[in-house]
Amino acid sequence: MGEKTYLLLLLLFVLGPVASVSLPPLILKFFNPDFNQYENKMAEHDDDILPVTGRSAMKCKQCLWPKSEDGTVVVPYNFSSKYSDSELNLFQSSMQDYETLTCVRFVPRTTEKDFLNIKSSKGCVAYVGRIGGGQMVGLDSAGCMFRGIIQHELNHALGFYHEHTRSDRDDYVTIMYQYIPPAKLEFFKKLDTNNLGLAYDYGSVMHVGKNVFSNTPGKLTIVPKPDPNVTIGQRDGLSPLDVAKINRLYQCDVCANLLNNKNGSLTSANYPSAYPNNVNCVWLIRTPSQQVTLNFEAFDVQSSPDCMSDYIKIYDGPTKNYPLLLDRTCGTGLIPPIIASTRQLLVEFSSDSSVTGVGFKALYGSVKCGGTFYIPKGTFQSPGYPNAYGPNLRCIFTITAPVDKKISVTISGFQTESGTYCTHDYLSMADGTSRWGPFCGDRTIPVIKSETNSLTLTFVSDATVQRRGFQASYIFT
């Protein structure tokens, strides 16, 4: 019996749903990056859970991936050779979220018997939980290459069904059976799930949209209650409750927080009282768009030589593998405003076994452009460089060196709209005592050397005429 025939027979015993083992052209429409559009296309095929009979992974302990002695849950994987370098990078960054926020570690397979065999075939599909051997995860390179889709299927492999099939779902959504084709009713079957004592999550990466499999244009198959206008489902990535559920299911001893709103706040434990000893916590900030900004309202962390005892670190990305925006910092006083280069930023806080402070409170939000730099050398550029920057920008780049250092900045590839006195689009620089610019047009800018340990670059554009912009590099001297 061929693999296709075998999988189609297994569909007769499906326990719960997500993408499909249908023909690839239909699968490719399943997870359209436009979430509403992908929901409209789902009616053309089946769901994305590959079936295994006789069990519910959420209540099946032997279906979970085993925990190592160090407390991590190692999930070996093997990639198909058909994926490109950019697709492999997307897989890696999607998997790194688990490492940052949970005790799950996706690692390349060596000799392990049980592993995920990730293939560019079969659409976007996965088994629920660990089934043994080289279990297939199908992620088609032509239609599944989005962070949320990858994490959706990885969550299936970890043991999670769709959110709308939870045993308590009737308290949170109404299933509109009159708009569901008979052949698709299995997708809406309520399961005997372990809900882990955590709330129903309309924003879960495991939730589908309101019109999934609808056979009537304009009619919904899943209606939230009591408020039918609540948005459900997304494919941007793990939600805070998704993270909490993974950590609860696998009993992860981690202090990790995902902050994915447009703006919000974060504080050390017990703030404004003293934080506890022996903690290591992270906050992954992922704003819906633009670049993350972080502004500290209070900062009081035990001071020590080179901040070797208690400290805070800030990374320009979602994991500790990204460049540091702020290296080990401790003591008292406010930290200068932080602007990440993307919509993701990671804050790490660590304390040792003695002496604590009040801790910290910070507010996060987002801006269109800009950046902050505390490391000895780096590069940055205007938005879109070397393509045209956008209209109506005001980008602030702040470079801060140690008190005994100064800063040298080199600008290359400079080109903006020209204008008398540079009143339209321009770049200017200031260090508190001196000012350079404004510069505009197509010109060469001399190397700028600050007279203090801080330098601010301001890039402004108006509503008309956009050029290439600029690229900059700096070094502490």
DSSP symbols for 106-126: EEE-SS-SSEEEEES-SSEEE
For residues 49 and 288, the model is more confident at 288
Total count of residues recorded for the chain: 477
Q: What class, spelled out in words, does domain 255-367 have in CATH?
A: mainly beta
Cα 323 from Cα 69, distance rounded (Å): 30
| Tally of CA atoms within 13 A in the half-sphere of 244 that contains its CB | 14
The model's pLDDT over 171-230, given as tens digits with 9 standing for 90+, comes to 999 999 999 999 999 999 999 999 999 999 999 999 999 999 999 999 999 999 999 999
Cα(422)–Cα(195) distance, integer angstroms? 61
The helix/strand/coil state of 45 is coil
d(CA 273, CA 191): 44
- Per-residue confidence (pLDDT) for residue 17, from 0 to 100: 33
Residue environment code for 399-425, b if the CB has 16+ CB neighbours within 10 A, otherwise e: bbbeeeebbebebeebbbbeeeebebb
- Rounded CA separation 461/389 (Å): 8
How many other C-beta atoms are found inside a 10 Å radius of the C-beta of residue 329? 15
- 22 three-class SS: coil
Long-range CB pairs of 445-452 (<8 Å, 24+ gap) are 445/411, 445/414, 447/408, 447/409, 447/410, 448/408, 448/409, 448/410, 448/411, 449/406, 449/407, 449/408, 449/409, 449/477, 450/406, 450/407, 450/408, 450/409, 451/406, 452/406
Q: Active site includes 186?
A: no
- Cα 466 to Cα 392: distance, rounded to the nearest angstrom: 10
pLDDT attached to residue 58: 53
CATH 2.60.120.290, the chain: domain bounds? 255-367, 377-476
Tens digits of residue pLDDT in 420-467: 899 999 999 999 899 999 999 999 999 999 999 999 999 999 999 999
- Would you say residue 287 has pLDDT above 90? yes
293 exposure class (CB count in 10 Å sphere: 0-12, 13-18, 19+): buried
Residue 383: is its pLDDT beyond 70?
Answer: yes
Q: The whole model's pTM is what?
A: 0.81
Instruction: Give the pLDDT band of residue 41 (cuts 50, 70, 90).
Output: very low
Closest CA to 33 of 231, 292, 243, 237: 237
- State the catalytic residue, choosing from 39, 87, 99, 153: 153
Q: Which CATH number fits domain 377-476: 2.60.120.290, 3.20.20.60, 3.40.50.150, 2.102.10.10?
A: 2.60.120.290
pLDDT tens by residue, 386-419: 999 999 999 999 999 989 999 999 999 999 999 9
In the numeric block, which tokens belong to residue 380?
């940055």
What is the per-residue pLDDT for 285? 98
Q: What is the CATH number of domain 3-162?
A: 3.40.390.10
Cα–Cα nearest to 193, from 170, 214, 212, 222: 170
Classify residue 275 by its DSSP letter. P
